[in-house]
A = this chain, B = another copy of it.
């Protein structure tokens, strides 16, 4: 049995506190010492990718203490409990099973007589069959014409993850002749969001996927209604254009309003749901079921590697532990995610939800306040764009922000140009290499305004190319990293009670049941 203890009650917590600040990044990353670190401080990831942490403020002794922490906090054993079907989401009394969408890591997980792996795979297969029929013209619009566009209507995890994955592969798919349909997304309750998407969509040839586990998400139902009105106004029958992704018990599940319903359950949280039908339906329709299967294969590789208790062989684990060290020992409140890949332009927005919604908590799994800081603030934009924007503060500001870079040797589109003796792709890669060293070592200058103190830590994940498989591996890497960090902080990474109060008060405003300041704010908008 594993035991769940607060981070600050562990022996390794004190040990790490005693070691903090012993690494001078400028010193260790200079000269031959730096080259040696880059060679040694590397952990293999799935599919030939690597996690390199040479430019983090750690040394062998700190790594030893982080391994002790991993062991003492039983991080991989807790992962094992999770994938074997323990009630890890204590607050909501739920299992946590998103990894089962991607492979059978441990024992069969049977709930109410259902093998959950079979259930998830069965729904993925339903999505694949449906997508194949749409692509083959066996499922068409009322006029017998092929559907060309698919629009996801969802918010939060029903939007950010699938959107980030689609954007990540859109160009790759076009380049490789794999794109089947154009995908679009409607999320915000702001009516301007739906209006913009609908205006640019050929409704007669569009499928709409309504994604809501409960079938009661207000934003999503509102946008669904918006879309239904538009379809009717165009003389179309909404029930021939709309799909539902929902739980089997939701009002959407057996409604004749939908062409077909696909099912998920309570054991996969929204921010982890790209691997479920929430991602499967739209990605199979847009890019093909084979592409979605490849994403799952890549994710499964990462999930397997995350089982290793040795932090030098488990990239998600060591990434998590270094992040904890930076947060709790070094006191850094933020982490920037900086992919040197335009295709990953919305991946930071997905990670922002994944990380901040999972570990932005102040109570432990037992509902007791913790005495240490938990999840960091996550933000990021793709490089090199960020270099011409907020990197100024990262280099010379008064706050230190640890960074997580991602880079690939090859681009996706296969188009490139040689300028001043190098391709764009080489320039892109040269920039990320240069940034890591500029942040780590800085530079002295007679003019203090041109000096760089250095000492700004970063890690980098490298791969050959962003493909469905490597994308899946990245997705699961970060999910597992966040899971391990939640285990260290002893929080429940799988609920989100912090979203409830705002919902409650918004309902009161709409019902005009307000007084005091809330009424005054509502009055600003003539509600």
* Nearest-Cβ distance from residue A426 to partner chain B, whole angstroms: 6
Contact residue among B398, B443, B502 (Cβ-Cβ distance under 8 Å from A374): B398
Q: How far is the CB of A66 from chain B (nearest CB, A)?
A: 21
Is there contact, CB below 8 Å, between B189 and A427?
yes
Q: With A349-B389, A429-B527 given, can you name 10 additional A-B contacts, CB distance below 8 Å?
A: A34-B516, A34-B520, A188-B384, A334-B334, A376-B399, A379-B379, A387-B499, A426-B527, A429-B525, A430-B510
Would A522 and B433 be within 8 Å (CB), given that A375-B393, A390-B360 are in contact?
yes
Contact between chains at A510 and B379 (CB < 8 Å): no
Q: Which 4 A-B pairs have the closest CB atoms?
A: A360-B393, A156-B388, A34-B517, A434-B505
Q: Among B174, B225, B396, point to the contact of A362 (Cβ < 8 A).
A: B396
Residues of B within 8 A of A391 (CB): 498-499, 502
Contact present for A397 and B174 (CB under 8 Å): no
Q: Is A105 an interface residue (CB 8 A)?
A: no
- In the complex, what distance in Å separates the CA atom of A70 from the CA atom of B305? 57
- The reply to whether the CB of A18 lies closer than 8 angstroms to some CB of chain B is no
- A13-42, CB under 8 A of B: which get 1 and which 0? 000000000000000011110110111000
A176 within 8 A of B: no
- Counting contact residues on chain A (CB < 8 A from B), the size range is 35 or more
Among A95-103, A258-266, A340-348, the stretch that binds chain B is A340-348
- 1/0 per position for A409-435, CB-CB distance to B under 8 A? 101111111011111111111111111
A64 proximal to B (CB < 8 A): no
Q: Which residues of B contact A392 (CB under 8 A)?
A: 356-357, 360-361, 496, 498-499
Partner of A413, one of B191, B370, B422, B496: B191
A-B contact pairs, 19 of them (CB 8 A): A29-B517, A32-B516, A55-B517, A155-B384, A159-B388, A190-B340, A192-B411, A218-B419, A225-B417, A229-B417, A352-B379, A353-B388, A362-B397, A363-B448, A367-B447, A377-B399, A407-B524, A440-B517, A452-B501
In the complex, the chain B residue whose C-beta lies closest to that of A399 is B333
The answer to whether A342 and B193 have CB atoms under 8 Å apart is yes
A364-395 residues with Cβ-Cβ distance < 8 A to B are 367-370, 372-379, 381-385, 387-395
What residues of chain B lie closer than 8 Å to A361, measured between beta carbons? 392, 396-398
- For A156, A219, A437, A521, the residue with the greatest tally of chain B CB atoms inside 10 Å of its CB is A521
> Is A60's CB within 8 Å of the partner chain B?
no
* Chain B residues near A417 (CB-CB < 8 A): 191, 222, 225-226, 229
Contact between B521 and A38, CB atoms less than 8 A apart: yes
Report whether B218 and A192 are in contact in the complex, using a CB–CB cutoff of 8 Å. Answer: no
In the complex, the answer to whether B396 meets A497 with C-beta atoms within 8 Å is yes
> Which of B389, B409, B437 makes the CB contact (< 8 A) with A156?
B389
A518 touches B433 (CB 8 A): yes
Q: Determine whether A187 belongs to the interface, using a CB cutoff of 8 Å to chain B.
A: yes
Please name all residues of chain B whose beta carbon is closer than 8 Å to the beta carbon of A517 when the two chains form the complex: 29-30, 34-35, 37-38, 54-55, 437, 440-441
A420's partner among B218, B367, B422, B521 (CB-CB below 8 A) is: B218
A139 at the interface (CB under 8 A from B): no
Q: Are B390 and A356 in contact (CB under 8 A)?
A: yes
CB of A442 within 8 Å of the partner chain: yes
Inter-chain CA distance A403–B10, complex, in Å, is 35
Given B29, B31, B435, B524, which contacts A433 in the complex, CB threshold below 8 Å? B524
Q: Does A86 contact B (CB under 8 A)?
A: no
Looking at the assembled complex, report how far the CB atom of A111 sits from the nearest CB atom of chain B, in whole angstroms.
Answer: 24
Give Cα A398 to B190, complex, Å: 30
